[in-house]
Amino acid sequence: MGAPMPALFRRPVVLWTALAAALAAAVITVLIVVPGDEGDSSYLDSEAPIAERVEDLLGRMTIEEKIGQMTQVAVPAIEGVPSDIRNLGIGSLLNGGSDALHDTPEAWAEMIDGFQREATDSRLGIPLVYGIDAVHGNGALPGAVIFPHNIGLGAAHDPGLAAQAAAITAAETRATGVHWTFAPCVCVARDSRWGRTYESFGEDPGLAVDYAGPVVEGYQGEDLAANTSVLATAKHYAGDGGTAYGTSTTEHYLLDQGVTTLTEEALRAIHLAPFKAAVDAGVGSVMASFSSTDLGDGPVKAHADSYLINDVLKGELGFDGFVVSDWQGVDQIDGDYAKAVRTAINAGIDMVMVPFEYRRFIDTLLAEVDSGGVSEERIDDAVSRILTQKFALGLFEAPFVDTTGAADIGSDEHRAVARHAAAASQTLLRNDDDLLPLAGDEAIYLAGSGADSLGRQMGGWTASWQGTVDAVTEGTSILAGIEEVAPNAAITYSEKATEPIGGADVGIVVVAEDPYAEGIGDAGAGEHDMRLSEADAAAVDTVCAAVACVVIVVSGRPIELTSHLAEVDALVAAWLPGSEGAGVADPLFGGTPYGGRLPVTWTRSNDQEPMNAGDPIYDPLFPLGFGLQTG
């Protein structure tokens, strides 16, 4: 035992001991009053009304846990430190674009369940919601059915069919563990040079209004908690399809993320009307646009537009879901990050797609709350909206993946609907001497870059953000579809029309755009110029000069064709038909009639863009709504 302590030091020791005891008592007191440690956990009562569960859970949460719920993180940022989900209370994950992270539903489920275990092991056990760009099928899963992009569905003029496509997409997405799709895009494309034109149902706001409600209902189903439903997202709010060419502040983008300049009356009639339809249908989330809106007082970033989000969307339209930012969209508001975060949250953004520097976002928003820049009332409103959708999705009762629907992914039944959708979207623009439909027993010379290319016919947001020519999913090319639909035809296939045409009865040239998506797909931003490639132009000129010919255009928008049409007997807009190329062949050989009608104006030259029905000068190659009928 050591020597007795000098008297000089005895009093401080007594004081420190007393102080330590007091601190311990204080800590105990703090722990006693931590939200969530008192009373019954009624938020876990599945029989209680959702509003009561939300109120109870919100009252138990710390400010740190609340801000965690407002944070959406990309998988690459979190996969090395999954414990951050538990420790920081992260509310949502996404994988970015339509990146095919895994090849099977089981592998997707295993990944998402791993992340979900971290979330449910947190103090309050609040589950994650996982989002993905399943915009025309679950493009992130090889083997899933890929439907026509929205512009093709718009050409079909059949909202019920689009709703079927959405319902199948939802089932094939939820079976992998994904709860939320960033779709539908209810944008109204007013300039076809925009790289997202194919994500729009067309230039007529009436089309978008007609489609918005049924498609939202198709995704969300009658019960959002069902293993066949996903949370839908109406995007991009608001006016992204009306940006002016060359107005973007981003160097390489000419239309995307630009400025939409118009009167408020025009904004409401053209761009807000589809969102009202989506809200009326009960859409659970809305995504803010990268673009800005100028109603006469200068451009305002959509992510910072309190009037459009708080007053119009949440107030006037009565939207009770949550608003999510687009990818790093908050960062674009201001170079001062704290100001950008403060502005976005106060403008009504509820969840922030960070997606990488999530600790920075959390710390910044915490500091803003501490300083009074963002009120706790605003935080509570945002978190209440997010939690409401999580309860509606049934995540508290069933946080882990139900893969019982995985066996139906890519099923014949699902593919039949996609084939029907592709066929219904086919738009016949020329049919001299009633060349179409073909009999099916002809000698056919087939050429063009789109004839045997799944990647081109599926387009962007398939397997990756920008899509890929080398498709990684399953499907039927247009060539294979022709072989299936017309087994008695004698087909000579030469992509670049270099083989002898010989005694062919008819030529079919399938021209195509290479895949693209937002920004990079803007005409003039890169290789995508809305014109035939040199190889496709040569194939058209060669084949159509030698034999009666059909040109099928696989594209996400009208492309400039005028100088190549002199020898073309029949012309078909196939849009981006998805994984079922037999749907392109069906009306070609009379199995179904041609019935598609243009959802956008087809100009004579790209220099005429933007051109929309009702313009004072309207002289297109083919007007909005045009489409020849057969059968």
Catalytic residues: 326, 518
Q: Which residues pair with 546 in a beta bridge?
A: none
For residues 220 and 256, give the distance between their C-alpha atoms in angstroms, rounded to a whole number. Answer: 28
Query: Cis peptide before 355, with omega less than 30 degrees from 0?
Result: yes
Query: Cis peptide before 437, with omega less than 30 degrees from 0?
Result: yes
CA angle 297–212–584, rounded 5-degree value:
120
Pairing mode, strands 300-301 and 322-324: unpaired
The tokens for 497 are 């029309």
What residue type is 545 in one-letter code?
Answer: A
Q: C-alpha distances in angstroms, 557 versus 97, 191, 193, 571, 574?
A: 21, 10, 8, 15, 10
For residues 398 and 51, give the distance between their C-alpha atoms in angstroms, rounded to a whole number. Answer: 19
The tokens for 378 are 């605003």
Smallest CA-to-CA distance from 308 within 277, 255, 337, 271 is with 271
Confirm if 325 and 291 have CB atoms less than 8 A apart: no
Residue 576 dihedral angles phi and psi, to the nearest 5°: -115, 95
Burial status of residue 225 (CB atoms within 10 A of its CB: 0-12, 13-18, 19 or more)? middle
Smallest CA-to-CA distance from 214 within 156, 168, 281, 274 is with 281
Q: What is the DSSP letter of 289?
A: P
Per DSSP, the three-state class of 478 is: helix
The tokens for 209 are 């209004």
Query: Among all chains, which residue has been given the structure tokens 């009999």?
Result: 439
Query: Among all chains, which residue has been given the structure tokens 């009770």?
Result: 320
For residues 194 and 255, give the distance between their C-alpha atoms in angstroms, rounded to a whole number. Answer: 6
CA angle 211–214–219, rounded 5-degree value:
115
Smallest CA-to-CA distance from 260 within 202, 201, 191 is with 191
Confirm if 169 and 121 have CB atoms less than 8 A apart: no
Residue 489 dihedral angles phi and psi, to the nearest 5°: -80, 145
For residues 330 and 301, give the distance between their C-alpha atoms in angstroms, rounded to a whole number. Answer: 9
For residues 104 and 154, give the distance between their C-alpha atoms in angstroms, rounded to a whole number. Answer: 31
Confirm if 548 and 503 have CB atoms less than 8 A apart: no
Per DSSP, the three-state class of 86 is: helix
For residues 108 and 569, give the distance between their C-alpha atoms in angstroms, rounded to a whole number. Answer: 48
